[in-house]
Chain A
Amino acid sequence: MSMEETRKHFKFMRSARNWGISALAAATIGGYALYQHSAASANALQPIQASAFNVLAQATPESTPGPYIDGDYTGDSVQAGHWGSMQVTVVIENGQIANFKINDYPHSTSTSLRISQIAIPYLMQETIQAQTASIDIVSRATLTSEAFTQSLQSALDDASVGMTATPAPNTTGTAL
């Protein structure tokens, strides 16, 4: 679908919403009442509670220039449930948070992965591979685990008082 068609489609979606029409649902959803139950695996991912929400909200800089002292600050390495540990470096520029880097994150081992018996016909599949092309933006599931927020908070605590900045490891190929 071209960008022009996409725009037309969006106009349709918007008007459908305005008029309370669920035409889209009728056109596209049929057949999805059936849900494939996955058997609970012994290696099921453990939920991580995002309970540090309020702590981070308080850390938000409200004005420019920000409250922090320029430099790179690395937070504590924090245990992230069954995943291992997580450590975050925050980059402060002009007193504000300019960037984050994730320094330490557990890799999932292939032996822990359950082999799926469910095939998806017609759609193309590929094994994921790390890319080296430079990028502007990363799309990923939201980073709000307790481990992430704790490590980030400790880095920001250091940035508030201007503790000696820690050199950040090279994290080429990623940005947040």
Chain B
Amino acid sequence: MKQTRLMMGMPITVEVVDASVTAEAFDRVFAYFGYIDAKFSTYKDTSEISRINRGEITLREASSDMQLIFALAELTRQETDGYFNIRHNGSIDPSGIVKGWAIQNAADLLLDLGYQNFYVDAGGDVQVMGRNAQGESWRLGIGNPFNLQQVVKTFGLSDCGIATSGTYIRGSHIYNPLDAGDPLDEIVSLSVIGPNVYEADRFATAAFAMGRDGIRFIEQLDGFEGYMIDRKGLATLTTGFARYVAVPAEVR
């Protein structure tokens, strides 16, 4: 069973292939994303993050989820030497860490319900668990940043997360916190595979802000692989990435 809904300004797709899956499971997952949107959306005046940004409440007065997100964002800022930062131009936008975290929690929710073979995809960042409907690894493709109708790399994945950061559709939604004027136009797409989508997403965001050095950051990160595409259409792979693509996905 597979469902897509438009939430948080992006398509969120959930597919569960376990025979026991119910429609209620999907409702619970999408309800969770609704809760995340209501709390963390900087586009909503009523959200808790908007209230914090307006100075109506302090972090100390905020919910435990909000405090956790701030703590995770600060940890990520330290781990990435400042390239990840939710503070920008005097306001706070935690979406760079909330998204991966929320996908991860949604996947954990499905695990808690007893499902083993599924994926949760929010706007192109994905947690994949178990096998697809054919009993194989989930077949992933990296979107071509120059042509939305194409994928440029395909491989099988299971029990891990993949996230892609880029400038190509959304515009420069990622900036370099250490140099706000940096156009970051050298690299158009950076995909990161990690132990889960939370880890993959936060490091993809930070590494993208590093420009061309981002792929070397991923290379040095234990347990992560990356695929970076520059403006010329030239891709740079981490050394371990090849093992994901050595065998064509269709014969796995």
Chain A residues in the interface with B (C-beta under 8 A): 1, 3, 5-7, 9-10, 13, 17, 20, 22, 24-25, 27-29, 32-38, 40-41, 43-50, 52-54, 56-57, 59-61, 64, 81, 96-100, 102, 105, 107-108, 110, 113-116, 118, 120, 122-131, 133-145, 148-149, 152, 156, 171, 173-174, 176
> Roughly how many angstroms separate A28 CA and B189 CA in the complex, as a whole number?
22
Give, as a whole number of angstroms, the nearest-CB distance from A158 to chain B. Answer: 15
Say yes or no: is B85 at the interface (Cβ < 8 Å to chain A): no
Say yes or no: is B234 at the interface (Cβ < 8 Å to chain A): yes
Would B79 and A135 count as touching, CB distance under 8 A?
A: no
Say yes or no: is B75 at the interface (Cβ < 8 Å to chain A): yes
Which residues does chain B contribute within 8 Å of A107, judged by CB atoms? 146-147
What is the interface size of chain B, counting residues whose CB is below 8 A from a CB of the partner? 110
> Roughly how many angstroms separate A143 CA and B122 CA in the complex, as a whole number?
10
- Chain A at the B interface: mostly helix, strand, loop or mixed? loop
Partner of B250, one of A17, A128, A134: A134
Would A56 and B9 count as touching, CB distance under 8 A?
A: yes
Q: Contact string, B25-69, partner A, CB cutoff 8 A, digits 1/0?
A: 011000000100100010110000000000000000000000000
- Chain B at the A interface: mostly helix, strand, loop or mixed? mixed
Which residues does chain B contribute within 8 Å of A173, judged by CB atoms? 149-151
Which residues does chain A contribute within 8 Å of B44, judged by CB atoms? 54
Would B170 and A174 count as touching, CB distance under 8 A?
A: no
Q: Which residue of B lies closest to A10 (CB)?
A: B195
Q: Contact string, B206-222, partner A, CB cutoff 8 A, digits 1/0?
A: 00001111011101111
Would B166 and A99 count as touching, CB distance under 8 A?
A: no
Would B223 and A145 count as touching, CB distance under 8 A?
A: no
Which residues does chain B contribute within 8 Å of A6, judged by CB atoms? 160, 195, 223
Give, as a whole number of angstroms, the nearest-CB distance from B148 to chain A. Answer: 4
> Roughly how many angstroms separate A151 CA and B243 CA in the complex, as a whole number?
38
Say yes or no: is B106 at the interface (Cβ < 8 Å to chain A): no
> Roughly how many angstroms separate A85 CA and B185 CA in the complex, as a whole number?
20
> Roughly how many angstroms separate A133 CA and B204 CA in the complex, as a whole number?
25
> Roughly how many angstroms separate A126 CA and B223 CA in the complex, as a whole number?
22
Would A120 and B212 count as touching, CB distance under 8 A?
A: yes
Would B215 and A56 count as touching, CB distance under 8 A?
A: no
Instruction: Add 6 more A-B contacts to A98-B4, A137-B13, A141-B145 (CB < 8 A).
Output: A1-B222, A96-B3, A113-B232, A126-B234, A129-B152, A138-B151
Partner of A97, one of B4, B10, B213, B239: B4
Chain B residues in the interface with A (C-beta under 8 A): 2-11, 13, 15, 23, 26-27, 34, 37, 41, 43-44, 72, 75, 78-81, 83, 119, 121, 123-126, 128, 132, 138-154, 158-160, 162-173, 176, 178-179, 181-186, 188-189, 191, 195-196, 199, 210-213, 215-217, 219-223, 229-240, 242, 248-250
> Roughly how many angstroms separate A100 CA and B65 CA in the complex, as a whole number?
32
Partner of A131, one of B26, B153, B223, B229: B153
Q: Which residue of A lies closest to B237 (CB)?
A: A124
Give, as a whole number of angstroms, the nearest-CB distance from A62 to chain B. Answer: 8
Would A139 and B211 count as touching, CB distance under 8 A?
A: no
Would A46 and B150 count as touching, CB distance under 8 A?
A: no
29 of the cross-chain contacts (CB-CB < 8 Å) are A1-B222, A3-B158, A10-B195, A10-B199, A22-B75, A27-B222, A29-B217, A40-B181, A47-B173, A50-B170, A53-B9, A64-B26, A99-B4, A116-B212, A122-B239, A124-B237, A126-B237, A127-B235, A131-B152, A131-B154, A133-B249, A134-B139, A137-B121, A138-B142, A140-B169, A141-B189, A144-B169, A149-B9, A171-B149
